[in-house]
């Protein structure tokens, strides 16, 4: 669980994570903004579908990969928030295939 140190910080940027509006500050990383909104689970593990969240916050673990504005596999810890971003959780790819009997 995380919170902003300065609770009076003006949250002037709005992004959407899986349908939920997340308020952020200019300069926040996408992952940081989502964490500050009380969400620790950002995606599903590729194989098992288990929940995963940010681990390294510096671009090496790839646990914070999300889909941003329709483009998948983006590193949420390296990208800065922009007003109106639509962010989605990535699903376990192999489970999708299994559903189709592949």
Interacting residues with another protein between 17 and 36 (CB under 8 A) = 25, 27-29, 32-33, 35-36
List the one residue from 15, 42, 66, 87 that touches another protein (CB under 8 A).
Answer: 42
Instruction: Name the region of 37 (left: φ>0; alpha: ψ -120 to 50; beta: rest).
Output: alpha
Local structure of residue 13 (DSSP, 8 states): E
Of 2 and 16, which has the nearer Cβ to another protein? 2
Distance of CA 77 to the CA centre of its chain: 8
Nearest residue to 3 via CA among 42, 54, 26, 37: 37
Of 3 and 91, which has the nearer Cβ to another protein? 3
Residues that bind another protein in the complex, under the rule CB under 8 A:
1-6, 9, 25, 27-29, 32-33, 35-36, 40-42, 45-48, 50-63, 65, 71, 73, 75, 77-80
């Amino acid at each position: 669980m995380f919170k902003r140190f300065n609770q009076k910080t003006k949250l002037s940027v709005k992004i959407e994570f899986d349908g939920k509006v997340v308020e952020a500050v200019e300069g926040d990383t996408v992952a940081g903004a989502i964490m500050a909104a009380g969400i620790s689970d950002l995606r599903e593990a590729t194989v098992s579908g288990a929940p995963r969240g940010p681990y390294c916050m510096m671009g090496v673990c790839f646990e914070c990969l999300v889909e941003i504005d329709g483009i998948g596999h983006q590193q949420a810890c390296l990208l800065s928030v922009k007003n109106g971003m639509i962010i989605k959780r990535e699903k376990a790819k192999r489970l999708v295939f299994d559903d189709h009997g592949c």
